[in-house]
Amino acid sequence: MIARITLATLLSLNLLGTPARAGDDTTKSSEAELRFFESKIRPVLAENCYACHSGSAGKAKGGLMLDTRSAIRQGGENGPAVVPGDPDASLLLAAISHTEPDLTMPPRKPKLPDTVINDFKAWIKRGAADPREPKVTAGAEPGSGSTISLEEGRKFWSYQPPKDHTPPSTKDASWSRRGLDQFILARLEKEGLAPSADAETATLLRRLHFDLVGLPPSPEAIEQFETLVKSRGIDSALSVEVDRLLASQQFGERWGRHWLDVARFAESSGKEANVSFPYAWRYRDYVIDAFNADLSFDRFLKEQVAGDLLPAQNDTERARLLIATGFLAVGTKNLDESNAVQFKADLVDEQIDALSRGVLANSIACARCHDHKLDPYPMEDYYALAGIFASTKTYFGTFVSPSNQVGGDPLILPRDAGLPILHASITPEKVKSLKADLAALKKEKIKTIADALRVFWRSGGIEGELERVDEEGKALPLAMGVMDDRRIFDAHLLERGEITKPGKAVQRGFPRVVTVEDCPSPPSDQSGRLELAQWLTAPSNPLTARVMTNRIWRHLLGAGIVKSVDNFGMSGDRPSHPELLDHLTVQFVSKGWSVKSLIREIVLSRTYRQASTYREDAFRADPDNRLLWRASKRRIDAEAIRDAMLAVSGDLDLSRRVGSLVGKEIGDKPISLLILDTKLPGDLDGSTHRSVYLPVLRERLPDILDLFDFAEPSLVTGDRETTNVPVQALYLLNSPFVATRARSFAARLEHDTNDPKSRVERAFALCFGRAPTSGELQASIQFLEHTLNKGSAGDRKGESRLAALCHSLLSTAEFRNLD
């Protein structure tokens, strides 16, 4: 019997546990996918297709309607226009690609741009998210829709200023620990429900550590915490532990990553060219530092929107403020776009979208081509903002090459700030030589297209190299960011968003549905970003603080009070506890917009402390746990899975990584060429630093981030999806990264003790924060003693039996889930 115990046997003993349910996310489109449809797909359909294939036009040529989800999937005489997940079977994609002579759309017109075709391909491949319902108003203009009036919009809950509410009285006066608990308990009592008992001490500490710093507590930390609970009580012990975690360097690395999701942080441009951004890492570090310093959230936003326009006391502060504006620079860019006007319009659109969704949880960019169909944002509001960003120059640090038609200057930082520089200096002689080469190229007579391209590309490369050094060739500190442009102007409203159809000029300003008292208008000699930042962070702005409060709640309780954390518009969810959201929002602002203070308030509550135990009565009444009758079971995110493996194996390097793989080793190059670079690890994961320092390349993420639902870095993401798919299990079983961690984990156990029983107990304590059950202990010891008694080799790829056991523990569902 003992001789037949294998790794598979161990895995079958419920060590893998029950997979986390994906829930409705497997069948419903995510917010991010719906946003992609609204911004990239619907406008193209309305502009190019509805005239011949929509109910509003009264036409269905070829039996095909394209204005509803059901119609586009049903298709017409030739079959389905869109087959979700299968671009090759989707006739619409073939039609707009002009791959079949008898099926070319739109007819008698040039093929749509490749960027648009690629957007449709990506949309179909990801499931063809489509919120359109089959009701169409007869006679409506193709692509148009009624817009909510400003007066009506101001009555909507999220545009009403938050008002503080006194915590309600409850029947059970002893349960609550914070004011927020009274809101939760009062609602539960109203529904005839009771809260759950407190979680076990070790379970609660594990939850707290992952939530605040993204790492598991050590067995020693659990023991110390339990001792403190016994001597001082749970309330005092929790307070001490929370304060310690909030003060640690790891806090900023954990919570900074949450904001980087919202900021759509990435180190490459995305789109077809997808060229690396070698200086993006400075913005990443700025965000981490801001969260560690508990920079007030209103100041944090002002620096990111208008840091270049704020006063600075010295070069160090000036550099930090310039780096902060990287928020507006790190988004996607179509570096294949040869039309400079179109590139600028798309860049401005991306910045408006990131700012409005990230800060206001509203999709103002949907008003680029037409008045917003669901929210009170007319096109004039969009172009009022567009003028602000069109009067801004974006520095993103790429140079012209055969792979990149758009050069983006790097933002030069003050040298005296003493910042690290990853690129090398060159000699003064090299500077002179490059300048001479550039001058010669500019004098060349262009006779052919080949000559023009050669001069264009070669000049771009030389200019890119010269921009990184001073006149003596000494390397300059560079960043991504923005500054006011030399030309300040109001944008023209573009008919259907087309740059060839300009209309009236729209005075720069802010969305009118949001009423903010005493907010200055954009001046004539500046872009207006500083005034925009003041408008966003004004205490009377009803959205900004409320949205961030809801984001913080979501990360600690598993779902936002408003579940659609990136959508506070009329198509979003309504708050489950509106008075509680307003109460916390008012507290957030009154306490100086302190993120740490709000986090502390929530995690010290009795609501946060609840166990996740299933209760039949409560589940039947509230299956989604919107009333918070228990703690929601959660799978930890991709970074925490990786960091936890490094932590328990003893391999984790807690020091900050200087720069990034992109800045140090990848440099300026197309991401598509990385596969040819044999010096780079295939999974882009050769580091033992925390996962926040891994490269974030659009369309080419490190394997563990890609497989475990990392935020799509092209989109504002406040709520990541959680999936449970076979490829994740295959990664855990076959990844070299996981295998290496298992071997290190085994070596750590071998160093600690020679006794098989002690090794198993230590392994469970490190992985799960608990002791093994008697069954787990017996099976594990039998597995290990088989090696000791028989001297056999391990079961998998040369692993020892102890390493195999460690590998199985790292692969369990319990390891990557929180109770």
Which stretches of 538-604 are DSSP H helices? 544-557, 578-590, 595-603
Quote the CA–CA distance of 573 and 567 in Å, as a whole number.
Answer: 8
Residue 313, helix vs strand vs coil = coil
What global pTM score does this model have?
Answer: 0.86
pLDDT of residue 701: 95
| pLDDT over 60 at 1, yes or no | no
> Position 231: which residue type?
S
Quote the CA–CA distance of 564 and 712 in Å, as a whole number.
Answer: 16
pLDDT band at 54 (very low <50, low <70, confident <90, very high): confident
pLDDT of residue 323: 98
HSE-CB for 215 with a 13 A CA cutoff: 27
List pLDDT tens digits, range 574-622: 999 999 999 999 999 999 999 999 999 999 999 999 999 999 999 999 9
pLDDT band at 70 (very low <50, low <70, confident <90, very high): confident
302 neighbors 457 (Cβ within 8 angstroms):
no
List pLDDT tens digits, range 359-394: 999 999 989 988 888 899 999 999 999 999 999 999
Phi-psi region of 85 (alpha: psi -120 to 50; beta: other; left: phi over 0): left
| pLDDT over 80 at 9, yes or no | no
pLDDT (average), residues 289-293: 98
**CA 121 remoteness from chain centre:** 22
List pLDDT tens digits, range 126-160: 899 998 875 433 333 333 444 678 999 999 999 99
pLDDT (average), residues 407-435: 94
Query: Which whole-number Å values give the CA distances from 470 to 220, 426, 441, 528, 667, in the listed order?
Result: 52, 9, 21, 31, 19
**Strand 392-395 and strand 481-484: pairing?**
antiparallel
Closest CA to 397 of 472, 467, 327, 314: 467
φ, ψ of residue 596 to 5 degrees: the values are -65, -40
| pLDDT over 90 at 61, yes or no | no
Quote the CA–CA distance of 540 and 266 in Å, as a whole number.
Answer: 32
231 neighbors 321 (Cβ within 8 angstroms):
no
List pLDDT tens digits, range 455-492: 888 988 899 999 999 999 999 999 999 999 999 999 99
**Strand 634-635 and strand 817-818: pairing?**
antiparallel
**CA 201 remoteness from chain centre:** 31
Residue 687, helix vs strand vs coil = coil
564 neighbors 31 (Cβ within 8 angstroms):
yes
Quote the CA–CA distance of 379 and 386 in Å, as a whole number.
Answer: 10
**CA 45 remoteness from chain centre:** 28
410 neighbors 467 (Cβ within 8 angstroms):
yes
155 neighbors 565 (Cβ within 8 angstroms):
no
State the DSSP code for 470: -
pLDDT of residue 808: 96
pLDDT of residue 435: 93
HSE-CB for 304 with a 13 A CA cutoff: 30
pLDDT of residue 14: 47
pLDDT band at 289 (very low <50, low <70, confident <90, very high): very high
705 neighbors 695 (Cβ within 8 angstroms):
no
Q: Tell which wins on pLDDT, 485 or 79.
A: 485
Query: Which whole-number Å values give the CA distances from 54 to 59, 129, 140, in the listed order?
Result: 6, 19, 10
270 neighbors 332 (Cβ within 8 angstroms):
yes
pLDDT (average), residues 341-356: 96
pLDDT band at 18 (very low <50, low <70, confident <90, very high): very low
pLDDT of residue 134: 58
pLDDT of residue 524: 95
716 neighbors 726 (Cβ within 8 angstroms):
no
817 neighbors 636 (Cβ within 8 angstroms):
yes
Tokens matching residue 176: 């609550």
Query: Which whole-number Å values give the CA distances from 545 to 301, 397, 604, in the listed order?
Result: 11, 33, 21
pLDDT band at 113 (very low <50, low <70, confident <90, very high): confident
For 772-780, which contacts have Cβ atoms below 8 Å and span 24 or more sequence positions?
A: 775/13, 776/13, 776/15, 779/5, 779/9, 779/10, 779/13, 780/10, 780/805
pLDDT of residue 22: 36
pLDDT of residue 449: 86
Q: What is the mean pLDDT of the chain?
A: 90
pLDDT of residue 551: 98
What percent of the chain is modeled with pLDDT above 70?
92
pLDDT (average), residues 635-646: 98
pLDDT of residue 28: 52
| pLDDT over 90 at 200, yes or no | yes
pLDDT of residue 192: 96
638 neighbors 705 (Cβ within 8 angstroms):
yes
pLDDT (average), residues 547-569: 97
Which stretches of 126-248 are DSSP H helices? 150-153, 179-190, 201-213, 219-232, 234-246
Closest CA to 510 of 482, 536, 539, 545: 536
Tokens matching residue 366: 């949907």
| pLDDT over 50 at 735, yes or no | yes
pLDDT (average), residues 630-643: 97
Closest CA to 15 of 24, 25, 5: 5
Reported as type and span, the H/E element at residue 597 is helix 595-603
**In sequence order, which residues have a C-beta less than 8 Å from that of residue 716 and are 6 or more positions away?**
32, 35, 261, 262, 263, 264, 353, 354, 357, 358, 566
Tokens matching residue 772: 């093994």
3 neighbors 786 (Cβ within 8 angstroms):
yes
What are the counts of helices (DSSP H) followed by strands (DSSP E) for the chain?
33, 10
| pLDDT over 60 at 7, yes or no | no
476 neighbors 421 (Cβ within 8 angstroms):
yes
pLDDT of residue 58: 58
pLDDT of residue 607: 98
State the DSSP code for 216: P
152 neighbors 376 (Cβ within 8 angstroms):
yes
Quote the CA–CA distance of 548 and 568 in Å, as a whole number.
Answer: 11
φ, ψ of residue 275 to 5 degrees: the values are -100, 145
List pLDDT tens digits, range 747-782: 999 999 999 999 999 999 999 999 999 999 999 999
pLDDT of residue 21: 37
Tokens matching residue 669: 């190059």
pLDDT band at 629 (very low <50, low <70, confident <90, very high): very high
pLDDT (average), residues 789-802: 59
> Position 145: which residue type?
G
| pLDDT over 90 at 77, yes or no | no
Q: Give the distance between the most distant pair of CA atoms in the chain.
A: 88
Residue 670, helix vs strand vs coil = strand
Closest CA to 713 of 727, 725, 701: 701
Q: What is the CA radius of gyration of the chain?
A: 28
| Residue positions counted in the chain | 819
pLDDT band at 10 (very low <50, low <70, confident <90, very high): low
Closest CA to 306 of 245, 392, 371, 379: 392
CA terminus-to-terminus distance, the chain:
34
| pLDDT over 50 at 64, yes or no | yes
